A and B are shown apart, each in its own frame.
Chain A
Amino acid sequence: MADSTASVQDTIARPGEEGIRARLRRYRELRLTEEELATVLLTPVLLFLLGLSFYPILDTVWASLHTGYVIELPGQQREFVGLENYRQILFPIGETRFWNAFGVSMFYTFVSVPIELVFGLVLALLLQKEFKYKYVAQAAILFPWALPTVINAKVWAWMLHPDFGVISDILVRLGILTQPFPFLSKPDIALYTMTAITVWKTTSFMALILLAGLSSIPDQLYEAARIDGASRWRQFRDITLPLLKPTLLVALIFRTLPAFQAFGLPFGLTGGGPGEATSTLVLFAQQAAYNNPGPTNGGFAIGSAAATLITLIALVIALIYVTTLYEPEVR
């Protein structure tokens, strides 16, 4: 690394010392200093992020502090209301829908992700072994993950259908149930069912990430451990797990945040019902935005406030993960 920097410095004069003409000539020949190269390469990404990510985010936050029209026209101005929308969400009159959705999302996330992690790790360890058709198996486990979420939701809704569903039918034929069971009509069971479906769908994704992490652990370490007489469990505990930790962090963040932002599965599977038993935070935000636009589009402001709250909660979760699991000195 130091070598290459030095060699670039040899061919390029320090910025302060070269004249404007020399600099233009250098640019024409596409010889850039490290800083200039970084600027050139990062600018498009930054512009992209600013325009398509930061601007909408800030606009959402701004909208959440107002009530009224999304776009202002003469006679249709919106009004600054400070944190009123947040108060309405967090301390509502009547049902506390946001907190119900918060509970649903927390359950959905923190039950499904650990199970996915364990199953995913087992799958990854199995897939790492050498066997015939290994690559077929690796591709096959990706199938559930590759299925678009809403289609997945609809497929499961049909399989769980009380009259025509194949799942009830199988369970009845096996004698486990005496009659078809309406899985999606019972508040608690519906939530468990939805969580199980997401475990089915995303375990393979977890496995894929962990598999990548496993293959980057050098074989020599295991070899040395075997020579020293370490047991399989010992190898797993003292080599695999510590070296897999950075990958685990990535996998956890990659699964926790989308689980926390789940929309497609509850939307397609249950619509948030029965009652609001499977209404996740994002589904809540969507319904808040669209069910009450009213004469002044007031719903969009409430929806924006809900979206902002969800983002903040997600950030907190990500921070907890990073501070507890991130160890730069590993590897």
Chain B
Amino acid sequence: MAADDKPIRRRRVLQGIAVAGGTALAGCSGGGDGGGGGDDTETDSGGNGGGDTETDSGGDGGGGASGEVNFVHISSFEPSAQDFAEVFNAESDATLNTQGTPAESSSTREYYVNQFAAQSGSFDVGMMDVVWPAEFVGAGWAAEVSDPDGNMDNMLSTPVEAITLDGSTYGMPMFTDANGFYYRSDWLEELGYDEPPATYMEVVNIAQEAKEQIDGCENGYIWQGGSNEGLTIMWLNWVWGFGGSIRDGDGNLVVNSEEGIQALQHAVDLIYEHEVTPDSIPSSGTDGNRQTFQQGGTMFMRNWPYAYGLFQDDTPVTDSFDVTTMPKAEGNPDANNSCLGGWSLFINAFTENNAAAQEFAQYAGTLDAQEILSGEHGRLPVRQELYEDSYWEDSDYDKPGNLDIFSEILQQTSARPATAQYSQFSNLVYTECNRALTQSKSPEEALNDAQAEIDSEINTA
């Protein structure tokens, strides 16, 4: 009986499968059509873009670009990007779409690298950290950015230099960054000091006093010690502060110099010798430090300008903190030891809508856009005009409180080495420095090991 049933049952099943398959196929072809439609639209807008490029080069110059510009930005830039889109879409024929990538710059870079490797034009404009241009331009990923209105002429020189390679500009600087030394002004006063510490040992001494004498002071000095870019920058701060450099006379990258080892030894000593830095620092990052300082309980912190803005909103430290220039080694008061940061716009070399992307890049360099970034979002603008008090008299915003001190700090910045292999260099440095911070290796061993790899993989290139 069962055996007799089988062929019939199977036939029904097969018919069922056939029907389902047919439906699925129909669905697929429907989807395929939809996809085709989408493709057509894209081709159209690409075509428009191409046409506009020609018009532009024909001498028309101002605006006229249309189509969509997809702007992929680091997620913390979201509020600024929204404001940009609002203004840009009102003024231009083109439409700006924004999309965020993860908050960590390394994840953002991975996203871009993935897209570039596939030669994808799925985004038109992105955000470039100050250390990426050599790599992005060298690989042919970032297109040239023109500056017909001369916006860059009025910008700070270092951010413009960062995107200039062989005399051409490959980005539009948006905002700059520098490391500041945050401190608890109330505790400093309580301990009887008029001025924040200016040298490394002053930092250590005051931090120790604070931990001993002030109730609620748990951490003396916190900084980025985790295995990430922040540690490379910290180490560079110290190297520069000790008067060192990481380029030798032949342009090779050298990390195991006397100052390099001294710098890392100082970092290790802060944790284990002077005991002003908690031993959790080897797993800490930038924003984690910011949160810790914000809760109170910390005397000193090294961080970026954005923390200043966040501390303004009703936090435990709102009225009791201040920020100053980075401390330096004893006897080296003129060191430029704050690390230059900052982001610029870049245009994807594989974009199909270069004209509209160029138009958006121009916009980011205008005073209007810069005023939004600084006045509304607390970034350090790249336009020099905004550092003058007189500029803000006619503005809807008050002059942001961090501009004066950070304009002083910006005078003391140095740039990270410009190399196409910066990511690899930094990865080697922070991994080995992190080993020293957990006392798995001595500072000298760690930097010698990093140097061996830098010599074999970067200095030979």
Contact = CB atoms under 8 A, between A and B. Distances in A.
A103 interface: no
Interface string B173-210: 00000000000000000000000000000000000000
A295 B117 CA distance: 11
Interface string A160-187: 0111100000000000000010101111
A290 interface: yes
Interface string B265-284: 00000000000001111111
Contacts of B10: 37
A273 B283 contact: yes
Interface string B97-113: 00000000010011001
B438 A274 contact: yes
Nearest to B3: A3
Interface residues of B, number: 55
B435 A275 contact: yes
A163 B292 contact: yes
A95 B453 contact: yes
B438 A30 contact: no
B423 interface: yes
Interface residues of A, number: 49
A11 B432 CA distance: 74
B414 interface: no
A82 interface: no
Interface stretch (B11-19, B36-44, B152-160, B399-407): B11-19
B57 interface: no
Contacts of A163: 280, 291-292, 295, 297
Interface in A133-153: none
A71 interface: yes
B456 A93 contact: yes
B429 to A, nearest CB: 12
Contact of A4 (B3, B424, B427): B3
A191 B281 CA distance: 17
A290 B434 CA distance: 20
B26 interface: no
A296 interface: yes
Contact of A295 (B11, B135, B434, B435): B135
B434 A275 contact: yes
B76 interface: no
A94 interface: yes
Contacts of B226: 271, 273-274
Given A31-B7, A95-B449, A294-B139, A162 B278 contact: yes
A8 interface: yes
B139 A11 contact: no
A29 interface: yes
Interface in A1-50: 3-4, 6-8, 11, 29-32, 37
A66 B377 CA distance: 46
B24 to A, nearest CB: 10
Given A7-B3, A275-B435, A300 B117 contact: yes
B456 A94 contact: yes
Contacts of A11: 7
A272 B18 CA distance: 50
Contact of A186 (B421, B438, B453): B438
B105 to A, nearest CB: 12
5 contacts: A30-B18, A94-B450, A270-B227, A277-B438, A291-B424
Given A7-B3, A94-B449, A161-B288, 4 more contacts: A8-B7, A182-B282, A290-B423, A294-B421
Interface of A: 3-4, 6-8, 11, 29-32, 37, 70-71, 73, 76, 92-95, 161-164, 180, 182, 184-187, 190, 270-277, 287, 290-297, 299-300
